[in-house]
Amino acid sequence: MENAFTFLLMIGFLSWSGYYWWKIINMRCQKSISKMWPLAIAKITKKDISVSHTGLGRSSPFTPKVTYVFSVLGNEITNTISLDSDSQKDMVTEALEGLGETIKTRYNPDNPKENIAEIENVRIGDIFGALLPLIVVVMCLRVLLFGSDGLTSVHP
């Protein structure tokens, strides 16, 4: 029964990790493909800080959000992106202030709504989301292979 639970735990954590690996790979592919797309200068219309609250009443990281607009063949395209979070509001505020009034964005000429700002990158939280579950999976594998005694035994 313990092995079945450990195996199910591993499957859950592998799925969690897989989701974040998918996000990382998707962002890297988008950045790579977008290098061939036309460049547009977008005007930043809104800079905002999103705050998530945990169930314990504490705030978790502050997430900077940027809304921008650019024009393609007379059509205005608006997009909102989230940048890397930080636990200190001052750091996020400083990062937003450092952006200026415009940013560069690349857009798909066949579908301009598909665009990626040059300031978008893989977020550090996604990297942790991909790697930390793998540590749990390695620990579960150790339990499956060596039993729970292998975790508590000390060798001289």
- The widest CA-to-CA distance across the chain, in whole angstroms, is 74
pLDDT range class, residue 155, cuts 50, 70, 90: low
pLDDT range class, residue 37, cuts 50, 70, 90: very high
**153 occurs within a structural domain:** no
Digit-coded pLDDT (tens) for 48-100: 988 876 555 555 688 889 999 999 989 999 999 888 777 777 888 888 888 88
> Rounded to 5 degrees, what are φ and ψ at 108?
-70, 120
pLDDT of residue 8: 85
Digit-coded pLDDT (tens) for 99-154: 889 999 999 999 999 999 988 877 777 788 888 888 888 888 887 787 766 555 55
Write out the DSSP string of the chain: -HHHHHHHHHHHHHHHHHHHHHHHHHHHHHHHHHTTSPEEEEEEEEEEEEEEE-TTS-EEEEEEEEEEEEEETTEEEEEEEE---BS-HHHHHHHHHTT-SEEEEEEETTEEEEEEETT----HHHHHHHHHHHHHHHHHHHHHHH-THHHH----
pLDDT of residue 144: 79
Digit-coded pLDDT (tens) for 4-13: 887 888 888 8
**155 occurs within a structural domain:** no
**154 occurs within a structural domain:** no
pLDDT of residue 5: 81
**55 occurs within a structural domain:** yes
Amino acid 93 reads T
Q: b/e string for 55-92 if b means 16 or more Cβ within 10 A?
A: eeeeeebbbbebebebeeeeeebebebebbbbeeeeeb
**141 occurs within a structural domain:** yes
pLDDT of residue 150: 52
Q: How far apart are CA 145 and CA 138, in angstroms?
A: 10
Confidence (pTM): 0.69
The whole domain housing 88 covers 2-148
Q: What is the mean pLDDT of residues 14-23?
A: 89
pLDDT range class, residue 30, cuts 50, 70, 90: confident
Give the count of domains, the chain: 1
**53 occurs within a structural domain:** yes
